[in-house]
Amino acid sequence: MSFTEEPKLTISNSNATEYCLIKVKDTWSRQIGHCEQGHGEGHRSDAKIYESSTGHCVTWTVVSPVVFTYRIVECENLLDANNDTLLFGHIADPEEVQALKRSTNLLRRFVVIDETVNDLYGAQVVQYFESWKVVYKILPLPTTEENKNMMLVTKILEEVHRFGIDRRSEPIIAIGGGVCLDIVGLAASLYRRRTPYIRVPTTLLSYIDASVGAKTGVNFCSCKNKLGSYTPPTAAFLDRSFLRTVPRRHISNGMAEMLKMALMKHKGLFELLEMEGRSLLDFAFQSSSVTEGRGYTDAASLATKVAIVTMLEELAPNLWEDDLDRLVDFGHLISPELEMTVLPELLHGEAVNIDMAFMLYVAQERGFLTEEEVKRIISCMKHLELPVWHQQCSLDLVQKSLSERLKHSGGKMRMPLPTGLGTAEIFNDTDSTTLCQAFKKWCEELGTGH
């Protein structure tokens, strides 16, 4: 999947001279005006340089498009020795893959794996690499929300430096949940300014969320993901068999992000979660129930596929978040503050679901959802064993969270709200009276004792 971030250019002087850049042999040189690809001798860059003079100053403006390509691969039995995806699945060119397989040079891989995942699958990872005669280093780490900090990033970087990797041909592999993927992604973005890495999610939340985007990060100064970068992996390999060993609560946790995409974009996914959600939870998304449609024969495959595709539809055009109006921020206005306040009581998806539940009442108060629709959604949330209210989510916390949102979102609230089942818009005009009335009704209907 290829993403291109178009450069935004503003030149104050309309008399600026435009130069394209041509490489002949090993030297780049400027040429005035538009240069067509293949015109004359040499290779043309997509970058441009503009030169202008104003008063006593000469200004050079550089415009350099960023193009990033990465792959998201759903496959089965990733750790089977007959499956070469983990080693070569990030490479799109079949000839390059065959050349690597024919090479006498040993493959080398540095792996960061969550400690719990290592207990479950570490032996299989070792057996896999040894069957392929790979030179490897496996680093188990306690990648929990409480430990999501720069100390773990530094630990990874120190071990990568000791092992030594080719920063272009030996991607770092992260195997674990969202915290693990985020930490390794940040470390990779820092090592030699950017080293390729591969994500292997082992939880439902990371499967449909953390693995498919570009964001990396760690918590800082008691703020969630305050430090980070936009550095997509070279590939993400998704294998639902890892979910067999995920605790029930963590399956439910991941379903919150799936429900988020259903409420924002896909009524069919919502109806599937209503009908099959409990079965998906019971069987940890291991293809136990049958639902026909979209070329998929079971509810587990269909639900994960729709969640990923709808997520990518929102992420791909805005990978670097130049546009702050993002539907995928639904459930993420209040939840970061709530999650960090009660850490480690709530999992990420649980905090997100509490946020979404409150926002349903805001949407109802504004006339976007009917009372029946709100009750139907809340019923689905409870059916998925997700919390819909928390005593620590006070009106003060709500107001503080929204104030921070306003501060860091260009002076706009940018509040995604459902406008029906599977449709949504972003609003900047929700007043405090509406919020207070929605909060009161939310507490009365879903608070302690309900």
Q: Mind listing the pLDDT tens digit for each residue in 203-256?
A: 999 999 988 999 999 999 999 999 999 999 999 999 999 999 999 999 999 999
- Give CATH 1.20.1090.10 domain extents, the chain: 248-446
- What's residue 55's pLDDT? 83
H/E segment holding residue 355: helix 348-365
For 210-240, b/e burial (b = at least 16 CB within 10 A) is: bbbbbbbbbbeeeebeeebebbbbbbbbbbb
Look up the pTM and report it: 0.90
Per-residue pLDDT tens digits for 142-156: 999 999 999 999 999
What is the CATH number assigned to the segment(s) 248-446? 1.20.1090.10
What residues does 296 pair with on adjacent strands? Answer: 293
Q: If you ran DSSP here, which 8-state letter would residue 16 be given?
A: P
- What's residue 290's pLDDT? 43
Catalytic residue flag (residue 215): yes
Task: Say if residues 308 and 236 touch (Cβ distance below 8 Å).
Answer: no
The active-site residue out of 215, 224, 260, 265 is 215
- Give CATH 3.40.50.1970 domain extents, the chain: 70-245
- What's residue 292's pLDDT? 43
Cα separations in angstroms, 99 against 93, 105, 229, 234 = 10, 11, 33, 19
- What's residue 4's pLDDT? 41
- What's residue 291's pLDDT? 44
The CATH fold assigned to 70-245 is: Rossmann fold (3.40.50)
Burial class (CB in 10 A: 0-12, 13-18, 19+), 100: middle
Any residues with CB less than 8 A from the CB of 387 and at least 6 apart, and which? 346, 350, 353, 354
Within the chain, which residues score under 70 in pLDDT? 1-14, 34-41, 288-297, 449-450
